[in-house]
């Protein structure tokens, strides 16, 4: 006797596949902007942190070597340079991608923060960085002892 064998394992219909793709697309559309925002914020924090580290490095170097050290910012660009007294350019650092100066320019009276042989600074003011979402990190450089504090806020 021959049995009629039927399999219902015929796979998914085109409509089922399209629905699954549509659901995944909607889910990705909700997740990707938040993920990109987190990446931009991480770039902002990293740029601010690197500038603080380089300012501190130059301050300590000025005290140890008893010579002037500088951090020179490029006002309408995305980099800055470390200078040593009599040594010239020590290094060049660039901002992380998507990070730029707040309002597009450097908010210091002069584009150079110069540390004297005691580690005191010649300029005080703010260095503001912003990401595409409007998240802002301000580095406040205080006159004399070169204290640096980080202020974080959102631009509305």
Number of independent structural domains in the chain:
1
Give the model's pLDDT for residue 156: 42
Domain housing 32: 14-154
Percent of the chain with pLDDT strictly greater than 90? 26
Q: pLDDT exceeding 70 applies to what percent of the chain?
A: 86
Here the CATH number for the domain that contains residue 148 is: 3.55.40.10
Confidence category of residue 107, pLDDT binned at 50, 70, 90:
confident
Q: Per-residue DSSP letters for the chain?
A: -------------HHHHHHHHHHHHHHHHHHHHHHHHHHHHHHHHHHHHHHHHHHHHHHHHHHHHTS-EEEEE-TTSSEEEEEETTTEEEEEEEPPTT-EEGGGS--SSSSEEEE-TTS-BS--EEEEEE-TT-EEEEEEEPTBT--EEEEEEE--
pLDDT, tens digit (0-9, with 9 covering 90-100), for 19-54? 999 999 998 888 888 898 889 989 988 998 899 899
Judge whether 90 lies within some domain: yes
| Banded model confidence at residue 9, pLDDT cuts 50, 70, 90 | low
Residue 9 counted as domain residue: no
- 5 lies in some domain: no
């Amino acid at each position: 006797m021959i049995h009629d064998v039927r399999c219902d394992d015929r796979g998914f219909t085109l409509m089922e596949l399209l629905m699954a793709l549509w659901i995944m697309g909607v889910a990705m559309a909700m997740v990707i902007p938040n993920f990109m925002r987190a990446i931009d914020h991480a770039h902002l924090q990293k740029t601010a942190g690197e500038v603080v580290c380089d300012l501190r490095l130059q301050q300590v170097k000025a005290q140890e070597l008893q010579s002037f050290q500088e951090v020179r910012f490029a006002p309408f660009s995305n980099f800055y340079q470390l200078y040593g007294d009599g040594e010239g350019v020590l290094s060049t650092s660039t901002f992380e991608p998507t990070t730029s100066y707040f309002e597009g320019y450097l908010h210091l009276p002069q584009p150079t923060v110069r540390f004297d042989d005691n580690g005191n600074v010649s300029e005080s003011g703010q260095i503001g960085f912003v990401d595409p979402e409007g998240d802002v990190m301000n580095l406040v450089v205080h006159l004399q002892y070169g204290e640096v504090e980080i202020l974080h806020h959102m631009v509305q």
